Chain A
Amino acid sequence: MSSTSTSTRHPSGAVEAQNQFAMVFDLNKCLGCQTCSIACKTQWTRGQGRDAMWWNIVNTLPGKGTPRDAFSLGGGYADGEPLAGELPGRKDWGEAWDYAHERVFYRSGDADTQWNQPDNYLKPMQRDGSAPHWGPNWEEDMGGGEYPHSYFFYLPLVCMNCAKPACLEACPRDSIYRRQEDGIVLIDEDRCHGYRFCMEACPYKRIYFNEERVIAQKCISCYPRLEAGVAPACVRQCPGRMRHVGFLNDPESHIHKLVNQWRVALPLRPDFEVAPRVYYVPPSLPTAFNEAGEFDESRSRFPIEQLEDLFGPEVGAALSTIEAERQKVADGGTSALMDILIAHNWQDLLGPFTKDPGAMARPTADKTRA
């Protein structure tokens, strides 16, 4: 998907964009339903070597994420210097498993032999026939802590459209560029030679490898939809109403208000130093229990230090703001912040991208495609 947009690449790695497309994910409302993941997969990653890709994925935290140990594989920067990254193999990313549907649903035979087989279920198999030991969101709902002190939340991940993208800087061929009009970071598939330095360099490990075409691919922020005024698929289809999109530099946008005004939307792992443009409203999780088994409202069940590791030192202040505004409404008052986050009107989540995808011009249907 090459673009005729011009790119600006500065030697320092910082690039200029006239407007900045950005997203805010409210982690208080993510259900972990993966509708976003399937919306993306249906749209972009079926066939053509992309079956194992999850340009959008939702992982349970605490957890090792996708690929395994995703945030511990290096990449990004430290004190302005690039950090070497590692790439795990296919099994640690998660293959596109085969489930032997034919055998389970259509195996012929008499009733006794058919239903008593030990493998008569949708058993996932890797390419070599073995059972998987890792996959996307492998640690779903496991989380941390011991009952009743267990804690977790769901963390959706897409391309962060970083303003200081480590992937762009790593590529020796300038195959990755940042669009001036909206700051979206894209891989030029005509230029890419599949060297995969970008994959090592991304600290969030959001870039995938297409083994069929020997190129790197990733979330494209649904830019063809954005150009038609339509919100990304993951945003429109989210039943939790937790995804806000818009332009960071638009003072009327939810993005600007949540990030710059209320300061409740924070970058993930700011220590990676890539200036991501996807922000997160941190989760206000259940209160902790004390020794007597009573609620201890002075602290969250989710250890604050772990939240600070994830979202930086401002997370405590963000949570306090959210709690105070929530209390205002509980006391009978109003809160502009709560109105934004609740999203009474679904269309308000979409920023300027309110057009219906059904109204988009479509290519001629390819009936040969499965």
Chain B
Amino acid sequence: MSDQVLATDTLATPANSLLDPLASAWQQADELGIELIPTPLDKQPSAYIQTSWSDKTWGLINQVFVKAVQASDSLAVHLRWRCDTPVRNIHDINVYADACALMFPASSGNAAVSSLNPDLPQSMGSESSPVNLWYWRAGAVAPLIGEAKGIGTVTRESDANGLQASGLWQAEEWQVVLMGPMPGLMGGDTLPVAFAVWAGSHAERAGIKSFTPTFCDLRLSTPAGDAG
């Protein structure tokens, strides 16, 4: 999975229109299918979760389709996954909403996937290698930016710091755009990113989810007209 490459395009469109998952700009972008697997049970950080989920299955969503675009100092990522029974918000005490997240190594920049600890997505980062997170949940007022240094250590920023998101469910699939500041990206750079998706209809939340156990290599294509 680590040698899957997500080609990104630099498109001459106003940044905000990219928030619309149906925007024409997205129709022109290359899309890649990413396989997702359930998180391992033995890494769930409480005996209660390990016991209560031992006879259940999770990781309902086994594939996500991704497009990524760089615009100004922002990165916009479009995710699409099949979902027959959407949960659009937390409308009851025992209801869990659909959600997705992106994980970036905190010290990404020009880091190549091969130089990263391959266990980072499985361990949610580490003390020496924290990860940044962009998190979208259906029905939530705003997306969340977070950081993690290991399983169970996610801290969410109170300020979204420019991260925006938009989600749309139609034709039995979710389409979600996450767009946030990611300065310093240039054509030819690679950006490691891992993915997670939660199927709310199956009570998935926290570490009970579908994910990519390793980073995917997001390579930015050279912008048109770039003299550098």
Contact = CB atoms under 8 A, between A and B. Distances in A.
Interface of A: 13, 81-85, 87-90, 93, 166, 169-174, 193-197, 199-201, 209, 211, 214
Given A89-B92, A89-B93, A195-B205, A172 B52 contact: no
Given A85-B52, A169-B46, A197-B49, A93 B93 contact: yes
Given A89-B92, A172-B44, A197 B206 contact: yes
A172 B49 contact: yes
Contact of B206 (A90, A174, A193, A199): A193
Nearest to B48: A170
B109 to A, nearest CB: 29
A206 to B, nearest CB: 14
Q: Dominant SS at the B interface?
A: loop
Interface string B28-64: 0000000000000000111111011000000000000
Contacts of A197: 46, 48-49, 52, 206
B170 interface: no
Given A87-B94, A89-B94, A193 B47 contact: no
A194 B130 CA distance: 23
A211 B51 contact: no
B154 interface: yes
Given A82-B51, A195-B205, A214 B46 contact: no
Main secondary structure of the interface of A (DSSP, over half): loop
B207 interface: yes
B186 interface: no
Interface size of B as a range = 20 to 34
Interface in B147-173: 151-154, 156
B90 interface: yes
Nearest to B205: A195
Given A195-B206, A214-B90, A82 B48 contact: yes
A83 B50 CA distance: 10
- List of 3 A-B pairs having minimum Cβ-Cβ separation, nearest first: A84-B52, A170-B48, A87-B94
Interface of B: 44-49, 51-52, 90-95, 151-154, 156, 205-207
A193 B90 contact: no
A296 B19 CA distance: 77
Contacts of A81: 47, 51
Contacts of A93: 93
A90 B92 contact: yes
Nearest to B51: A82
Contacts, number: 69
23 contacts: A13-B47, A84-B51, A84-B52, A85-B52, A88-B93, A89-B94, A90-B93, A93-B93, A169-B46, A169-B47, A170-B48, A173-B45, A173-B152, A173-B206, A174-B152, A194-B90, A196-B94, A196-B205, A197-B49, A197-B52, A200-B52, A211-B90, A211-B91
B124 to A, nearest CB: 11
A172 B46 contact: yes
Identify which of A93, A166, A193, A199 gathers the most chain B CB atoms within 10 Å of its CB. Answer: A193
Contact of A88 (B51, B94, B152, B206): B94
A173 B49 CA distance: 12
B113 to A, nearest CB: 27
A216 to B, nearest CB: 10
B41 to A, nearest CB: 12
Given A84-B52, A88-B93, 8 more contacts: A89-B93, A90-B92, A169-B48, A172-B49, A172-B151, A173-B153, A193-B156, A211-B92
B154 A193 contact: yes
Contacts of A171: 46
A172 B45 contact: yes
A227 to B, nearest CB: 26
Contacts of B91: 211
Contacts of B90: 194, 211, 214
B52 A82 contact: yes
B94 A170 contact: no
A85 B152 CA distance: 21
A209 B207 CA distance: 19
Contacts of A90: 92-93
A172 B95 CA distance: 18
A56 B206 CA distance: 29
Interface centre among B52, B95, B205 (most CB of A within 10 A): B52
A337 B156 CA distance: 53
A5 B52 CA distance: 30
B96 to A, nearest CB: 8
Contacts of A173: 45, 152-154, 206
Nearest to B56: A84
A199 B93 CA distance: 10
Contacts of B47: 13, 81-82, 169
Contacts of B152: 172-174
Nearest to B158: A190
B122 to A, nearest CB: 15
A120 B92 CA distance: 30
Contacts of A172: 44-46, 49, 151-152, 206-207
Nearest to A167: B48
A42 B15 CA distance: 49
A201 B206 contact: no
